[in-house]
Amino acid sequence: MLEEAAPEWLSEEVKTGTTIIGIEYDGGVVLGSDSRVSAGETVVNRVMNKLSPLHDKIYCALSGSAADAQTMAEIVNYQLDVHSIEIGEDPQVRSAATLVRNISYKYREELSAHLIVAGWDRRNGGQVFATMKGLLTRQPFAVGGSGSSYVYGFVDAEYRRGMSKQECQQFVVNTLSLAMNRDGSSGGVAYIVTIDEHGTEEKVILGNQLPTFFDQ
Amino acid sequence: MKPNAALEGLFNGGNTPKAMKTGTTIAGVVFKDGVVLGADTRATSGEVVADKMCAKIHYISPNIYCCGAGTAADTEKTTDLLSSNLAIYSLNSGRNPRVVMAVNILQDMLYRYHGQIGANLILGGVDCTGNHLYTVGPYGSVNKVPYLSMGSGDLAALGILEDGFKPDLELEPAKELVRAAIKAGIMNDLGSGNNIDICVITKQRVDYIRPYQESQYKDNRKIKYKYRPGMTPFLTEKVVPLKLEVVQESVQKMETA
């Protein structure tokens, strides 16, 4: 007996149910995310790039409600463009993070998205900011999304100050792989973005190329 | 989200009219020379098929078409609004509309209504930047992918697409892939059925093939339900002539100089 002609998930909100991570090193930052977008129990997009550019050398990682996060990123992208034309130079990462924070604080009751902002600027080099629910804090590394709960132990134990660019990229890939294996709402492929003085480098690591751990 | 919650109060616990949902299978594939969109043609209202030949592929602009799943009225109106707005934008700027413009307008509109508009749309088109396929959800989230399916039959169709999709397909294999995907949705989902419509968009032209494949389960009506002229018997006849008077006559000369 048909209760409803259409399944529940069609009207359910689309969440990015994610793992995102950002880490800074001397000279730049590495941002990473998985690629799964879910609506209820269905995967709506298995190859979504959740690393969204806010400016040439500033990216943000999206998590939470897909619509809210995408819209916030678009609005901040526009505001940052205007700001950088007004000041006549590339914007600071802190400015981008502040713009994101302003939106998530003002609309904290209506929005349910968390963005990690990371980038490189001339003044302070590589920086990572967390902006959940309206706070603004600079951290050496930040994890977010539903998959982050499973890897707090790993990142706390494995992080060391003064890692090189390659070590940071490996750290990000390992973290994403572990989280994607344990969290049902994270999966697909891994997207990595490395931002430094010389530019931005985007990389995709396919599912079967991710590092494997004890149970695989 | 239940925008009609207020309506339920008026019916005192009786049966509220159910919104007509398209309970659908729609799919799209990007191929070498353009985009192929496909859809079934069944519209359901509760458990009754309300329309057996519903058109789910909507015109947006000469180079962009849109498939809609969800509440039928919402998809119709949203795509009409989008089509008008896009026409105004392109007249204002003097450029052909781009698919990404349509996506942005849609996302803006749907996000503003926070999911109250139940429209799941697949937008496909060809513009000067290439061949594009996007999907927009009712809350305003956008996904850009080379192939996808939406609607209640989407998982069945997605299985076919995942198996058969390759980048840079030729036209005929692409049409066949979409046809097979919609067919899978029709066969395995109660909310989808009847015929299959296909729309092929390329740089040179648009082929809207409706229907591309007809359902093999067509019913045969036993008798005709049309009344022949003269079947209704006259009981009485009364003729009343209307007396009309000329009140005013005015002549306007037409200048042809």
User: Pairing mode, if any, of strands B64-70 and A141-144?
Assistant: unpaired
The fraction of chain A above a pLDDT of 90, given in percent, is 80
Cα–chain center distance at B86: 17
Using DSSP bridges, classify how beta strands B147-150 and B26-31 pair: parallel, antiparallel or unpaired: antiparallel
Q: Which residues of B touch A11 (CB under 8 A)?
A: 1, 70, 115, 118, 138
Amino acid at B27: A
Q: Does residue A42 belong to the interface with chain B, where contact is any CB pair within 8 Å? A: yes
pLDDT at B84: 95
CA distance A51 to A117: 10
Contact state of B139 with A66 under an 8 Å Cβ cutoff: yes
Q: What are the φ and ψ backbone dihedral angles of B87, each rounded to 5 degrees?
A: -60, -40
Q: Give the closest of B23, B140, B155 to A71, CB-based.
A: B140
**Nearest residue to B78 (alpha-carbon basis) of B38, B51, B109:** B109
pLDDT for the residue A132? 86
CB contacts, 8 Å: B26 with chain A: none
B190 touches A: beta carbon within 8 Å: yes
Q: Tell me whether B56 touches chain A (CB under 8 Å).
A: no
Distance of CA A151 to the CA centre of its chain: 15
**Strand B34-40, strand B196-202: pairing:** antiparallel
What's the CA gap between A118 and B232, in Å, rounded? Answer: 80
- ipTM entry: 0.71
What would the mean pLDDT of A51-60 be, rounded to a whole number?
95
Contact B118 A5 (CB under 8 A): no
Q: Is A43 on the interface with B (CB under 8 A)?
A: no
Q: How far is CA A65 from CA A5, A30, A43, B114, in A?
A: 25, 23, 14, 12
From edge to edge, which strands make up the β-sheet containing B130-136?
B57-61, B64-70, B119-127, B130-136, B142-144
Instruction: Find all residues with CB under 8 Å of B95, minimum gap 6, and list them.
Output: none
* B184: nearest Cα among B169, B170, B211, B164: B164
The pLDDT tens digits along chain B (257 residues) read 455 566 666 666 556 665 555 578 999 999 999 999 999 998 888 788 888 888 899 999 999 999 998 888 899 999 999 999 999 998 999 888 999 999 999 999 999 998 889 899 999 999 999 999 999 998 999 999 999 999 888 899 999 999 999 999 999 999 999 999 999 999 998 888 888 999 999 999 999 998 888 877 777 778 877 888 888 888 999 999 999 998 999 998 888 76
Instruction: Report the distance separating Cα A35 and Cα B254, nearest Å.
Output: 72
Q: What is residue B17's predicted lDDT score, i.e. its pLDDT?
A: 60
Query: What is the phi-psi region of residue A107: left when phi exceeds 0, alpha when psi lies from -120 to 50, beta otherwise?
Result: alpha
Count contacts between A and B (CB, < 8 Å). Answer: 65
The SS3 call for residue B213 is strand
Residue A93 binned pLDDT confidence (cut-offs 50, 70, 90):
very high
What's the rounded Cα separation, in Å, for the pair B188 and B82?
Answer: 32
Residue A3: predicted pLDDT: 43
What is the distance of C-alpha A123 from the center of its chain?
A: 23
Most A-contacting residue of B51, B134, B136, B139 (CB-CB within 10 A), to test interface: B139
Q: Residue B82 to residues B65, B66, B74, B85, B203: CA-CA distances in angstroms?
A: 11, 10, 12, 5, 21
Q: Note the pLDDT tens digit of each residue in A155-212.
A: 999 999 999 999 999 999 999 999 999 998 899 999 999 999 999 999 999 989 999 8
The SS3 call for residue A50 is coil
Task: Work out the number of other CB atoms within 10 angstroms of the CB of residue A142.
Answer: 25
